Every structure is written in structure tokens, then in C-alpha cells.
Structure 1
């Protein structure tokens, strides 16, 4: 009789199967199942649906005492301890479901809590030590709450829980001598990088469990080029509207186009984000703020156009006139008046004859400019407002960019 037939006889003696019962000689002691986990592939992480898809390998080992349960000695039942017996004959493959194996279930599966295993994953029974080894591959499709605060430089941590369904800790205990997953057979992912992994075998609610935790970091280059770069370009273009000549008639159209571009970018980002209010990504806050800046920009452009096209009969307020004259005076003092002073040719003989002559002529030129009455129009006021608004928007957008983007890049 073959060793396989002998083993099956012990499992099916008395016309009933013992495969659903834990093969322990002493039922008051829990069976110890050694476990290790191989991470094989990370297929996908979907932050919108909050799910992760990966492949892992479970390596389970336990001692099957079905022979001792019947009062027989292992060496007398199987003729596998003879000297010189080849290693290949010291163990045999047993189809799944023919002998006992843990009823493994992924507790936080998103599709269904189906039992792990199948006919493709056979068990190896060691005839010399009654040691059973089982290495099923598991397709994990599990829930994972995303944290997109620093998107696209985010880091996600996902936890999975396996247990033997229906067995308490007094019947079955998982044991492990590893605290991390084995990445020796891992196939790299183009979007995510595995930065850390943990494994533990706690007892929760009187059940021994296998808890697996992996931490993945997004590779941000693709998203930085396709999301952050267009936003930064639009931020620069948004303020350039005040350099566009008013006579071109394109100011309002240009500013509205910038505003709509921010709306399109925001919709693109929202499609990549989970529909949750906690947390909200910094990049969403930043895009909304830039969109508000663009809307304010459009409103101010309309007001500035109204100012530029006011009738000449409307009087410019005195405080605007004073400010514009002050700014023009400062500019002229730095440029025009300096050129006038430098252009004055003074002969050495003139200085010797009358030193006050040159000084007086320069002073009179300055006084003539400072006391010159220049009519200030609404067009002058609009041009000066362009300078103020450009500098204001440039400073405001720069400050907001630093406040929102710096925490992301410093992560």
C-alpha cells in the first residue's frame, strides 16, 4: 500500500472523514501554525475608491498528528526513515481538501470573504516528521483608507487581517519569527514604491490573526509634471494680464480664460481625489485659492477698464492726482532729472568766475520740473493702477504658493 493511501486511510477510517477536525493528539492544546508572507506584486492602489490590489504568498507550516491520534508511531506507519531513502520519497504532495488545513479568510476583503486556497495549491506532507507545508498565493483586494494630504507626494499605509475562520485561539495559534514581509520575489510597480512592511500575529476577540501592514510611497514625477507645472504656469500668466495693453481689448477675455483654466484643473484634481472631506489635499486648497485670485483678477480688470474709458470731463480725485504726481516725481528724480543734471556742461573757467552760476542753473531746472503743472487723466490713473495690481498679485500669489506648496515639498 502506498504512503498516500496509508495517509488517506487514517483520515477516512471508520467511513467518515477527519479532514474538518484539527489533527491534534491532545485536543486541549492549540495547534501551532508557523507563518511567513511573501509580497509578490502591487497591482494597484485606488485612492478614489479606497482600495488596494496586490498579490501575496502565504507560507504556512504545522505538524499533522493524525497518525498519533490513532495510537500509531509515525516511523512504523511510513517506511520513510530507512537509511539511504531519497529526500524525494520522504514527502508527498496531497491535494487540497484531502487533509486538514486552516480555513484561511481575508477579513477586510472588499469583494467577498472567500476561503483562501484551491485545487492548484497542494500541500506537502513530510513523512518523517509529519510536517505539512502549504504555500497558497492570495489575490488581495482590500479596503484601505487613503491619506491624500500631501498628494502627489503622499504615503499610504494599508493593513490586512487574515484568520482561520471558526477556530479560536485555544484551538489554533499562528506563530512567526519574522516582523516584515519577504520582498525577494516582489515585482516593482511604476506608480508606487514599497517603503516599509510589518507583520504580526496578535490574538483579537479570542482568535489568532495574521496582521500585515505595508507602507507605499507614490512616485510623484508624472503627477508633478501634469498637475503642479500647469498650475504654476497659470499663476504666472494670471498676473501678466496687467501688462497687456488696454487698447488691445483682450484683457477681460484673457483673465476669464485663466479663470476657466483653473476650474478645469480643479475638476481634474477632484477626479483623482476621494470624495471625502477629511483629509483634503493641500493641492486642492492651493488650486481653489489660485482660482479665487483669478476671479478677483477678472473683477479688477473690469474695474480698471471702466477707469481707463471714463470721459475726460470727469474729474480725477485729488488723492489720486497727488499720488500719481508723487510717483512721477520720484521716477523723474531718479531718471530724467539726473540726466538733466549730468547733461549740463560746466567749464572750469565758469566755476572760477562765478561758482554760483552752475549751481543756480541746476537748481532752477529742478524747481521748474517740480513746480510744473501736469494734467492727470483717468488713463494715467489706470496705468498706475496696473503697476499696483501687478505687484500686489505677484506678492500675494507668491506667498500663497509658499504656504501651500512648501509643506508638500518638505515632506
Structure 2
């Protein structure tokens, strides 16, 4: 009883072993009587079709070599938020079936024909990084040559995990990996090779991908690392795909409008500081820039921090600083024309030093001072307040003109106040020019820094 039970348990094993060892050391020669001008008689390949569940080898200890290559025909999408690369590949696999052979001269010159791939043994090659369900079309065909070489082409849409770095958006370059290996067969039973050279894959794929799309293919490189899963060792081929974004869309829709608004904000400093139009103009620009950022938000990556987001934040900050500078200068001019405080001697000396001829600091009051009722002055050397009023009549002149002494004192006070107003106005205009220069320096340094980072 125990012997019969053991025999029944081992009978499937003997059946599989018999199928594997069938034809050991020899090939199955196809009878040419099945070839005619109308095609090939399917019945002549029945012995081959019956072996499709087993790896086609005459010696089970010899691994099957599968040469693979692919053509990247399209880069469909790069999802920065989910860190995914969607592409379309044409995968080509080539291997030998030692049980298929015929003589083309005896078989009406037929050296190659196609049959349904479902009737043949197919290697279970998959992409390790792929996370999508296999959507390969069914009922694909495979070419079989008279030497037993089988060529199988498989179109596939691949959604693979990729470590995307968006810091340099929209001038970013992404490097993704596509690793091909068998799901079941270890390195003892299946080894992978290359059907074409890597430069051939790169050239063909680059020509196709460059035809359309947001991304362009830069290069494809390969490596052949072994993968160990527990006690098993798998053979695999890793392709490193480098792609670059075409930035023209983002330059036109993002960078150019932002640069124009910032340039207009800088030019608005040439509006007279005492004018009432400068502050409202800058507020309008600031509101317009915020509306621009809200409208273009869909074009910006939502995951991580990109350099273009930093650039927009810097531009917005500079426009706010520009508005604050205008508010500060306007407030200083208001104080100078209504309630001018006494000016310290060191500030008078500094102002006189900067207002001397052949100096770099701007000194001349603007024409807008006439609107305030101010009379430009050349600011002579000031030592004492009494010396500031050179046009006030003296005691003898006042007596000869019949002016009372109180009128003379009032003229002196008005002259001193007028001169003090002129000093504060000139100081405010000088501060406006100085802050404008600092603004331009900060703007230029920020833009140059961003450009240098984008080029690295």
C-alpha cells in the first residue's frame, strides 16, 4: 500500500521529467511537407506547442539566454507629486528554441514565419519599478526562424517609480531607472543579454521622442547588477534613462511676465517722489503680481520646493520692499514740508559733503519741488543758523525802509524755516536715490544667483 501510494505521488514528477528530457540532445526537425504557398500547416508544430509550459532546452542545467532591447517611443507624463514616470515602450525579446529547425531550401524558401505567441514558451520578463497593471494587448504574434530563433515584440505602457528632483524646474533633468528581470527564473535557468547596443537604443528612441511632447530624451545607459532575493540570485539589466524638460512653455508663461512686472516696478522709481501717483502705481503692480501667481499656480510643481518658487517669492518680496520704501520717502517729505524737525549738525555736514560739485551722491532737487512752493538753493556752507539767512535785511536797512523790528524777526524765522525745509527735502530725495540703488543691487544679485543655480 505504501509503495503504491508513493508511486502515485511521484507519477506527476516522472511525467514532467519525461517531457523535459524528450528529444534530449537533438532538435525537432519540421517536416517540409507542411509548407506551401498558402502558409504553414499548424499541425506540424504540435510537438513544439505541447512543450510551451516548459523552458525550451535540451539540457535542463543550461540556462536560457534571452536578449532584450526596447525603444522608448513616448514620454507620456512625469508626475512630480506622485514621483512617477509614464512612458510607452516597445520591448523586443529574442531567444532560441532548440526544438525548432528546418531547411529553407527544402521548404519552398521559407526561412521565417509568424505564429501566435500564446502557443510558445515566453520568458516572464517584467520591469521592477513598474507599478501599473499589465495592459499588454492579447493575441500578439512572434516570428520563428528556421534556426529556432524566436523574436517577440511587446508594446507596453509603463508607469514606473522614479526619484524626481524638481528643484531646478523648469530647467530640470530627471534620471529614472528601468530594471528588467525574470519573475520566476533565477540566474541558473535564465540569463539576460542585449540584442542591440545601448547607443542604438538611445539614437532610435531620441529621434522618436523628440518629435513631440514636453520632455526630450538625453541618454540611456545600462548596468547588469545581480539581484539577490533570499537564497536565490536573479539576473537583471538596469537601464538608466535621462530625460530633460523643454522649458519654452514655462519661460513664456512664467518667467517673462514675472520679469516684466519686476522691471516695471524698478522703473517706477523714476516717478517723482513727491508725486501722489507713485504709491498707488506700486500697489497696483503688487496686486497684479499676486493675481499672476494665482493664475499660473497650476503650472508650478506641487511637491517639494523648486527654484522658480523661490524666484517668485524673491520678486514678490522686492516689490513689497519697493512699496515700503515709497511709503517711507513720502512720509519724510510730508514731515519736511509740514513740521520739519531740527537737523543735527552731523547730518548737515553729511548733506553738504554729498551736495558739493563732482560728488557721486545726487543733490539737485527735482522740478516737483515747485509744486510744494519750495525754492531751490545751492546750500552754502552752514556754520550757524544766523549765517543761513543772507537775504534778511540788517538793522540799518530795516530802519531806512521803515520796517519795524518785529517784521525783520519774522522774516528771519521764515527764511530759516524755508531753508530747513529745503534741507530735509534734499535729504529725502538723496535717501530715495540711495534706497533705489540698494534696491537695484538686491534685485540684480537675486536674479544672478537664481540664473547661476539654474545653470549648475
- The TM-score with structure 1 as length reference comes to 0.76
Asked if residue 53 in structure 1 is aligned to residue 86 in structure 2, the reply is yes
Indicate if the aligned counterparts of 1:38 and 1:183 stay in contact, CA closer than 8 A. Answer: no
Residues in 1 aligned to 2:163 and 2:338: alpha-carbon distance in whole angstroms: 64
**Among 143, 146, 149, the residue aligned to 1:124:** 143
- Farther-moved stretch of structure 1 (19-28 vs 386-395): 19-28
The Cα offsets for residues 216-245 of structure 1, whole Å up to 9 and x where unpaired, read as 222333322332222322332233343223
1:43 counterpart residue number: 76
1:323 counterpart residue number: 350
Residues in 2 aligned to 1:333 and 1:212: alpha-carbon distance in whole angstroms: 62
The alpha carbon displacement at 1:170 in A equals 1.7
The alpha carbon displacement at 1:56 in A equals 2.0
Asked if residue 183 in structure 1 is aligned to residue 203 in structure 2, the reply is yes
1:357 counterpart residue number: none
1:217 counterpart residue number: 244
After superposition, residues 4-403 of structure 1 pair within 5 angstroms as: 4-12=42-50, 18-65=51-98, 67=99, 80-81=102-103, 83=105, 85-87=107-109, 89-112=110-133, 114=134, 116=136, 118-119=138-139, 121-126=140-145, 128-176=146-194, 178-180=197-199, 181-184=201-204, 186-187=207-208, 188-205=211-228, 206-264=233-291, 266-267=293-294, 271-277=298-304, 280-310=305-335, 312-318=338-344, 319-330=346-357, 369-370=380-381, 373=388, 375-377=419-421, 378-403=424-449
The alpha carbon displacement at 1:289 in A equals 2.0
Residue 289 of structure 1 aligns to a residue whose secondary structure is helix
The alpha carbon displacement at 1:157 in A equals 1.5
The alpha carbon displacement at 1:131 in A equals 1.4
Query: Given the superposition, is the C-alpha separation of residues 368 and 94 from structure 1 closer, same or farther in structure 2, using an over 3 Å criterion?
Result: closer
The alpha carbon displacement at 1:288 in A equals 1.6
The alpha carbon displacement at 1:369 in A equals 4.2
Query: Given the superposition, is the C-alpha separation of residues 236 and 195 from structure 1 closer, same or farther in structure 2, using an over 3 Å criterion?
Result: same
Indicate if the aligned counterparts of 2:265 and 2:319 stay in contact, CA closer than 8 A. Answer: yes
Residue 224 of structure 1 aligns to a residue whose secondary structure is helix
Structure 1 portions without partners, runs of 5+ = 13-17, 68-73, 337-366
Bigger CA radius of gyration: 2
- The TM-score with structure 2 as length reference comes to 0.69
Query: Given the superposition, is the C-alpha separation of residues 160 and 368 from structure 1 closer, same or farther in structure 2, using an over 3 Å criterion?
Result: closer
The alpha carbon displacement at 1:24 in A equals 1.6
Query: Given the superposition, is the C-alpha separation of residues 115 and 211 from structure 1 closer, same or farther in structure 2, using an over 3 Å criterion?
Result: farther
Residue 356 of structure 2 aligns to a residue whose secondary structure is helix
Number of residue-to-residue matches in the alignment: 359
Using CA pairs below 8 Å that are at least 6 residues apart, which structure has the higher relative contact order? Answer: 1
Residues in 1 aligned to 2:362 and 2:216: alpha-carbon distance in whole angstroms: 59
Structure 2 portions without partners, runs of 5+ = 1-32, 35-40, 364-377, 389-417
The alpha carbon displacement at 1:388 in A equals 1.4
Indicate if the aligned counterparts of 2:63 and 2:191 stay in contact, CA closer than 8 A. Answer: yes
Residues in 1 aligned to 2:320 and 2:136: alpha-carbon distance in whole angstroms: 56
Residues in 2 aligned to 1:400 and 1:85: alpha-carbon distance in whole angstroms: 76
Indicate if the aligned counterparts of 1:96 and 1:117 stay in contact, CA closer than 8 A. Answer: no
Indicate if the aligned counterparts of 1:110 and 1:142 stay in contact, CA closer than 8 A. Answer: yes
The Cα offsets for residues 142-173 of structure 1, whole Å up to 9 and x where unpaired, read as 23222233322221222112333222222211
